[in-house]
Chain A
Amino acid sequence: MEDAAILELYWARNDAALEETRKKYGGLCAAVASNLLPNREDAEECVADTYLAAWNTIPPERPRLLRAYLAALTRNIALDRLKRLRAQKRGGGEAELIFEELSELLPGGDTPAAELERRELLRDIESFLDKQNSRARHIFLRRYYYADSVSAIARGLKMRENTVSAQLMRTRGRLREYLLERGYDI
């Protein structure tokens, strides 16, 4: 079913919207959740929460891109859950590796940047990604947005895992340079 038709079901408060969402994007939500969360039960609950969040937010929301919207919902819910698990020392898995990789790109020491700075940083990162070739951008987003494992990315692109890791390292290096040039203190 087309996304527009699924959104119409949400707006009509027809619960078939959830089944259609599950059919079309269940795999995506499950993948994002399990990439971030260390065990299966947490991932399953996260996906169920995602459907509930979609039901509760559409309407009033009418996402332009349903896939990205659901991915963002899943990601946020999984991240919240992961933070709680980490507080109980129950984190781990792929997410920890990803955080470690991203730690080399951290402006402003340990203090969360002010909201304005965050917005600016986000804009700069987006502008950087826009300038990358489709391969580098695809790999970066799959790793650092969808939290995909290096091996899953390599499988999808029929590349060697070491090549994917090297590509990620190069993109992070370029991003670091890009941010340094813009005056960020990394």
Chain B
Amino acid sequence: MTGIAMFELLGELSPEMVDRAAEKPGRKRNILKLVTSLAAAACLAAAIFALLPRGSHAPVPNGGTGGGGDNAPGWIDGVVVETGEHIVVEAAEWMPWEAKRFVLTMTEYSPAPGNMPEDLRVGEGVRVMCNINSFIPVDSDTVEVPVVFAIYRHVGNVDLLAGLDKSELAREINELYGAELTRPVTSEDIDLRRAVKIYVDTNIFALRSADRGTVLEALEHGRHVYLLPVEAGERTVVANIQLGLPLNSDAGLSEAEREEVLAREGHYFASSFALYTTGREPDYGEIIRKYAGEPRPDAVLVGGLPFFRDPVALVTFDGVDAVIPLTGSFDAAAIRDLELAPGVYDYGKVRDYVNSLPPQDPDLCG
């Protein structure tokens, strides 16, 4: 029997067993070490929802909470859309209710002095730590947040990849894949010019504007990763390189985890690796060339968008802002009418379509 035969055999598992993949496994508390579980957060949000006036919708921040009572710390990840007397943040994602605009009431104590960047600008990606029990619904879209503990700026897009520790990266690759490589990887094998930048964690579809400039600005202020192929003979290891984020003091980390986070803050490190037979690793440049008809050095790659499970490329195609999915992991038939050319879609129309969709199961897309 070969690997493919075993895979084929697993295809005969009973439907009941297969359907169990849809079961959401419970999170181990000692992994995230949140003060309360996500289930507790959901219960809390449901309780808030029950208390809200008619027609209102309770937002659920994208994170854990500090338990019940008057003080329930949580967070909202999003993009600043207004500054001034109030700061307005549009949530990067929201679930499962509909509020997406969060108006942060700025007072002497909210956020606590020194707990927000002084020069916060429109378009910046932020994490807002707040008391979710304090939320006041304004309308079905908007919630006022009177108690803000802190606003953290997502680490900006300062290009420090050159500061990557190549010898450490080579050591990690050899440690992980030593047995499968025909020879050890050295620093000389690591060519930073091959790195592909992918913006992540900024839901650009949630921005008010589909204008390319606005989108790019929002991306620039959000997070990004690099995919860096490192070739070693017949095998290529693709390292996922990311920038260490600032320590979130409310994350409830152990001392060792805090030290690890602090050591990585502001430095690039490899967060994961994938092994390919050389020549079979994803070649996004080639995929873009295939659909756009020519190499597109202006293409901007974005991952983690709703509807598209894998990264997409943003390009200007015949003068129209366009999106090129880089794999087939999306429902192509649903947006067939939005194609500008085979495999190239009108960005504005795709954005409108995706925003019209109900929230989906992020795991199984079913």
Q: Which residues of A contact B (CB under 8 A)?
A: 22-31, 33-35, 37-44, 47-48, 63-65, 67-69, 71-72, 75-76, 79, 83, 86, 92-93, 95-103, 105-113, 118, 121-122, 125-126, 129-130, 133-135, 137-139, 141-142, 144-147, 149-152, 154-163, 165
Contacts and interface: CB of A to CB of B under 8 A. Distances in A.
Contact of B272 (A75, A134, A161): A161
Contacts of B240: 151, 161
Interface in B11-65: 11-28, 31-32
Interface residues of B, number: 60
Interface string B326-342: 01111111100000000
Contacts of B304: 155
Interface string B216-241: 00000000000000000000000010
A84 B26 CA distance: 39
Contacts of B271: 160-162
A96 B14 CA distance: 24
B333 A47 contact: yes
**What are the 6 A-B residue pairs with the smallest beta carbon separation, nearest first?**
A27-B365, A43-B328, A99-B3, A161-B272, A26-B331, A135-B25
A79 B11 contact: yes
Contacts, number: 209
B327 A40 contact: yes
Interface stretch (B70-78, B82-90, B119-127, B356-364): B356-364
A99 B11 CA distance: 13
A134 B6 contact: no
Nearest to A136: B25
B271 to A, nearest CB: 7
A118 B16 CA distance: 19
A71 B16 CA distance: 12
A100 B3 contact: yes
A109 to B, nearest CB: 7
A151 B272 contact: yes
B249 interface: no
A142 B331 contact: no
Given A34-B329, A63-B15, A161-B272, A79 B7 contact: yes
A30 B328 contact: yes
Given A93-B280, A151-B240, A161-B240, A40 B328 contact: yes
A28 B57 CA distance: 29
Contact of B31 (A40, A83, A159): A159
Contacts of A67: 19, 22, 364, 366
Given A135-B26, A138-B23, A159-B31, A106 B365 contact: no
A155 B272 CA distance: 12
Contact of B11 (A135, A145, A161): A145
B67 interface: no
The CB with the most chain B CB atoms within 10 A, among A22, A33, A102, A161, is that of: A102
Given A34-B327, A100-B3, 19 more contacts: A24-B366, A25-B366, A26-B333, A28-B364, A34-B328, A41-B328, A47-B328, A65-B18, A75-B11, A79-B4, A93-B280, A106-B6, A109-B1, A111-B1, A138-B23, A145-B13, A155-B304, A156-B362, A157-B27
Contact of B343 (A27, A40, A141, A150): A40
15 contacts: A22-B334, A30-B365, A39-B328, A43-B327, A47-B333, A63-B15, A83-B4, A95-B7, A99-B2, A105-B6, A126-B17, A129-B20, A142-B21, A145-B11, A145-B13
A26 B17 contact: no
Nearest to A152: B309
A12 B365 CA distance: 27
B357 to A, nearest CB: 9
A140 to B, nearest CB: 8
B8 interface: yes
Given A39-B328, A44-B332, A96-B280, A130 B11 contact: no
B365 A72 contact: no
Contacts of B310: 34, 152
B9 A118 contact: yes
A157 B19 CA distance: 17
A72 B15 contact: yes
B339 to A, nearest CB: 12
A111 to B, nearest CB: 7
A106 to B, nearest CB: 5
A40 B324 CA distance: 11
A123 to B, nearest CB: 10
B274 interface: yes
Interface string B250-278: 00000000000000000000011111110
A28 B21 CA distance: 12
A160 B328 contact: no
Contacts of A27: 307, 309, 330-331, 360, 365-366
B160 interface: no
